[in-house]
Amino acid sequence: MPISKYIKETMTSPGAGVIRKMFEEGIRLKKQYGEDKVFDFSLGNPDLDPPEEVSEEFARIAGSREKNFHGYMPNAGFTDAREAMARKTESEQSLPEGSMDFSCVVMSVGAAGALNSLFKAILNDGDEVIVPAPFFVEYRHYVHNYGGKLIEVPCKKDFSLDLEAIKSALTEKTAAVLINSPNNPTGRVYSQEEIKNLSFILKEHSKKCGREPYLICDEPYRAIVYDNVKVASSFAEYDSSVVVTSFAKNLSLPGERIGYVAVNPRCPDKDELIAACIFTTRVLGYVNAPALMQRVVAKTWASPVDYSLYEKRRNELMENLDAAGIEYTKPEGAFYLWCKVPDKFGDDDMAFCEHLKKHLILAAPGSGFGGKGYFRLAYCVSEKSIVDSKKAFVEAMKDL
């Protein structure tokens, strides 16, 4: 029997899985040329070790011999883990202590699992989700999974929100606006004023059409910011707001797949939305978030991490690009540089990434992120790799 037409077309499209393909290509090239000769900036795979506190708690919990320790729990997760995430969300969203409790939280299989559970819960066939472009590559698929349509709205030239463009894109079919701050791939952090104005637009829209879109904030990079930038609170501005996040980036646990959905306690349909996310967690086959990791993050979510190492690497990579003459946007958060393809290549980011590969530099083409003519460099790699890549970048530009 043939596979799904959509899956087949998507798998064979030029940008399909290009980041993972580059990552896997990097493994091959390292075997061929040596680890220190290949500069792989393709994948956002944190190279900082998890905090010692996390590793110690992991080892302690994994050694438990408590009866039924590895059994099922409620689909929403352990109550103490949900309570801990409520406390975390309160602190991040500048809410009064005690204003949230576990009933606002559903533990999830990473931020991706959180988004899929949430979209399954809120989308009807033909519903639309507005996203500022550029955006995380998988959003298109997550929305399509449940009969929705991703409406891509370009940001301004500085990659701040184009609020008028978002306003123009709103329709009676708009189920949600999805934002990612700090943004992957640009590193842009949306200001409190931007979120306030976006919230006003959504409130005015709901008065006109009778449907209040959710404001979904995908925030796995919230803790990784530079130059005293502060990530805005959506809960303070908009009642129907939802945070989805994980511990993949801030605690360097991407392979452990642990995250959660947190609904604003003032959301008018909070109880129904939470119940729906609990149900969709089950029927999508996740069943529940990993039990061991729920226990770990419940105890260690506030572990201190020195993100200045990422800032140092950011600055070193920017120096390399300056030396090579490559334009980029200075990131305010996350660990990516969003770079402009040289004029010689027009907006053909795929071709330029192939050119970089000839110099053993692996980058992610911007087309997959909804940003044709750009490419992304992930600097969550060793400092040595960044320093050693300078000559390769300079040679790649000389070789145009």
In the numeric block, the tokens 């949900």 are attached to: 82
* The predicted structure's pLDDT at residue 26: 75
State the Cα–Cα distance between residues 172 and 280, nearest whole angstrom.
Answer: 24
- Show pLDDT as tens, one digit a residue, over the chain (400 residues): 688 888 888 777 755 666 667 777 778 888 888 888 999 999 889 999 999 999 999 999 999 999 999 999 999 999 999 999 999 999 999 999 999 999 999 999 999 999 999 999 999 999 999 999 999 999 999 999 999 999 999 999 999 999 999 999 999 999 999 999 999 999 999 999 999 999 999 999 999 999 999 999 999 999 999 999 999 999 999 999 999 999 999 999 999 999 999 999 999 999 999 999 999 999 999 999 999 999 999 999 999 999 999 999 999 999 999 999 999 999 999 999 999 999 999 999 999 999 999 999 999 999 999 999 999 999 999 999 999 999 999 999 999 8
* pTM listed for this prediction: 0.95
CA distances from 318 to 353, 363, 379, 395 (A): 18, 15, 10, 16
State the Cα–Cα distance between residues 376 and 349, nearest whole angstrom.
Answer: 10
Summarised one tens digit per residue, pLDDT across range 325-375 is: 999 999 999 999 999 999 999 999 999 999 999 999 999 999 999 999 999
* The predicted structure's pLDDT at residue 14: 59
- Phi first, then psi: give them for residue 20, nearest 5 degrees: -65, -35
* The predicted structure's pLDDT at residue 48: 93
- Phi first, then psi: give them for residue 73, nearest 5 degrees: -130, 175
State the Cα–Cα distance between residues 302 and 150, nearest whole angstrom.
Answer: 34
* The predicted structure's pLDDT at residue 115: 98
pLDDT above 90 covers what percent of the chain?
90
Distance of alpha carbon 288 from its chain centroid, rounded?
21
State the Cα–Cα distance between residues 18 and 248, nearest whole angstrom.
Answer: 21
> 157 in helix, strand or coil?
coil
Which residues are registered as beta bridge partners of 333? Answer: 225
> What is the CA angle 147-150-151, rounded to 5?
135
